[in-house]
Copies of this chain bind each other. A is one copy, B any other.
Amino acid sequence: MLDHLVRLYRQLKALARADLRSTEVHETIGEMAVLGARFLATECTRVQAVSRVPAKSYIVFRRQERVSRPVNEAIFCGDPNTLLTRLAHFTPDRLAELHVQDATALIYSVAMAFCAAIDVLKDRDKQTPATYFAIMVAHLIAVTLGVQPRTSIDVLHLEHEQVELPTDYVFDPGAGRSKIHLPVKTSTRERVIQVWAHQRVLDGVYGVGGLLGVLVVLAETKLDRQTLQVIEICLPRQWVLYQRFISQMDRIYYLDPPAAYLDLPNISVKPFGEFFRERARFTG
């Protein structure tokens, strides 16, 4: 089952490079999520974690010596057959029809089923879950906007030499519509200042408003592997400063939104399900 999961992951990366909007990408993501959920349900032990996050309950999956990242119990659909059924809603149009919390929970489950499975497969492999999560989010947004993203942009093209700046995903839906700069992270922690700094460089090159900054994050949970305690690491006061003084992110979406970020005075932080409801902001 694990070999199959790793094979699908390689396949997904190749398909995403070819066409991030394709049906094949959509189907491979669904297959990976269901297989991940089946693996977690049949070959791992589900253990209650000690949540220190108010009003949230977390579980972890254990296999031999390995423990997965914390999984939010209330929004994770761990039954592979139920998840398979719900995948019928895993398109931008159908997600927009769901309640925001149901849409967010579905995407969370699709993300988490694979990420938690990889956590217990290869300890400390952070790249595979992060890449999968970025492809999954970028796929949904590429289908929504109807364009392929790029991952580098030309800057300083007026000068003697051309400089390519590697970026997160950049979507350019064409004349008259805003470009979107899309960093995707499984968590942000203290390195999040990079997101605002990259946005500032893009503002400098394209002018403020030339590219809207949209950050999508899975969760901010941190697990103590000894005690199984789960905390959320949030820096709301720093975020307010970054948003005020470095650049302005248009939206920050979470799959498992930390309460500390939901009422900031100058940043719009929302559950990712909202994106599909308000997609007219980006496609209009």
Interface residues of A (CB under 8 A from B): 155-156, 163, 165, 191, 193-194, 196-198, 200-201, 203-205, 237-238, 240-242, 244-246
Contacts and interface: CB of A to CB of B under 8 A. Distances in A.
A191 B194 CA distance: 8
B205 A197 contact: no
B201 A241 contact: yes
Given A155-B241, A165-B238, A241-B163, A193 B197 contact: yes
A193 B194 CA distance: 6
A220 B267 CA distance: 36
* This chain's copy number in the assembly: 2
Interface of chain A, main secondary structure = helix
Given A163-B237, A194-B193, A237-B163, A201 B246 contact: yes
A165 B204 contact: no
A136 to B, nearest CB: 24
A11 B119 CA distance: 40
A213 to B, nearest CB: 14
Given A193-B194, A194-B193, A194-B194, A156 B241 contact: yes
